[in-house]
Amino acid sequence: MTNSSAPIRERQGPVRSALDRLVASGEIEADPAQRLLADRLDRLDKQLSTTSLASKQSALGWLFGKAKPAEPPRGVYIHGEVGRGKTMIMDMFYRQSSVSSKRRVHFHAFMAEVHERIGAHRAAVKEGSARGDDPMPPVAADIAASARLLCFDEFSVTDVADALILSRLFKAMFEAGVVLVATSNVAPDDLYRDGLNRGLFLPFVDELKRHVDVIRLDAAEDYRLAAIGEDNLYLTPLDAETDARLDAVWTALLAGQKPAPASLSVKGRTVRVPLAGNGAARFSFDDLLKRPLGAQDYLALARRFHTLVLDRVPVMAEAERNEAKRFITLVDTLYDAGRRIVISAEAPVGELYRGVSGTEAFEFARTVSRLTEMRSADYLAAASAGEDRPA
């Protein structure tokens, strides 16, 4: 006989089910904070499906004055330290979402596209093929027409040009019914902190918080570090086995995300990233150390990515003093920023530079020490917690 008074258990949504499958397979550890976030995103997908149907059914009624279209649901802004699973869970939501009109994009790529759209509208006005001096309404309308659900990875604002247009752009997008899901390392109130003319940016923060629920993901551990393992951070010698191990580390860092090329703007120059995904970037030795890059470029990479993967570093001698100097600068910058680096190299770190003259030989001793510390449990724990490294 069935106990009719037993509570009815609510069926798990697709995001929570996908997360639980990863836990069951042993790929990640069970974490209550991640499960709560997955449940919240499942509720959002259900709301999106319901409001989409309601909007269609009420469209004719609204036209004849009987009803207004359904109000779009509140989106979700997810923030927290690196490595807590923000992007992983958002991507689960994006893949599982029943919304057909959706888009997932890195926030910096989206803003670059917005600037291109603004420029195209102004050019069209000048040619006489478009009207209106204000490009924001048509740009926002075009974005809303192409995607009802926008998922942004690594939401951050560092550029004054972006800061000055965000409030008007997002106000128009929200009014058009766009629903936002975003990941970020900082809370909305900390966006563009200490930025130029920040007072002009603050209305955007208020507008954002009116349309999203802000959730801090305080997961228990950095799941990527557990997947990588401390012994896989510096791999040598250069052979097929090392290549395979480095590929496995890269796959673990991506956590199912598809990598793609990226770029950063540094003082008017473009720094190209061959492959990036889930907050990690991968470079060959030639891409990162044979190009004329410096401390500002490496600092921009450290601000953008929590982990850099560097392929096939050769032994360097005095003929490669420039490359060795860049390598020293790269390691110093990542160390000071508390970021991680994964390297495959021709020789153990103490044998990687064989020059004997110049300052590089002396400075490389510090690099050896720092690379050794960057593989320690204490450093990795501090990096996962987002703590600053000692000077």
Q: Tens digit of pLDDT for each residue in 63-91?
A: 445 445 568 899 999 998 766 788 889 99
pLDDT for the residue numbered 293: 94
Per-residue pLDDT reduced to its tens digit, 336-365: 888 899 999 999 988 999 887 777 877 888
Which pair of structure tokens corresponds to residue 313? 């570093």
How far is residue 164's CA from residue 186's CA, in Å, rounded to a whole number?
A: 19
Nearby residues of 141 by Cβ (< 8 Å), 6 or more positions away: 172, 176
CATH of residue 345: 3.40.50
Do 364 and 277 have their domain in common? yes
Q: Is residue 8 part of a domain?
A: no
Question: Is 0.75 surpassed by the pTM of this model?
Answer: no
Q: Cα 8–22–219 angle (5° rounding)?
A: 85
Q: Cα 110–111–115 angle (5° rounding)?
A: 120
Identity of the highest mean pLDDT range in 154-163, 261-270, 301-310: 301-310
| Residue 119 domain boundaries | 14-216
Q: Is residue 91 part of a domain?
A: yes
Do 283 and 375 have their domain in common? yes
How far is residue 351's CA from residue 367's CA, in Å, rounded to a whole number?
A: 12
Q: Is residue 355 part of a domain?
A: yes
**SS3 at position 104:** strand
Q: Is residue 4 part of a domain?
A: no
Q: Give the pLDDT band (50/70/90) at residue 313.
A: very high
Question: Which of residues 152 and 256 earns the better pLDDT score?
Answer: 152
Do 280 and 374 have their domain in common? yes
Q: Is residue 1 part of a domain?
A: no
Q: Give the pLDDT band (50/70/90) at residue 61.
A: very low
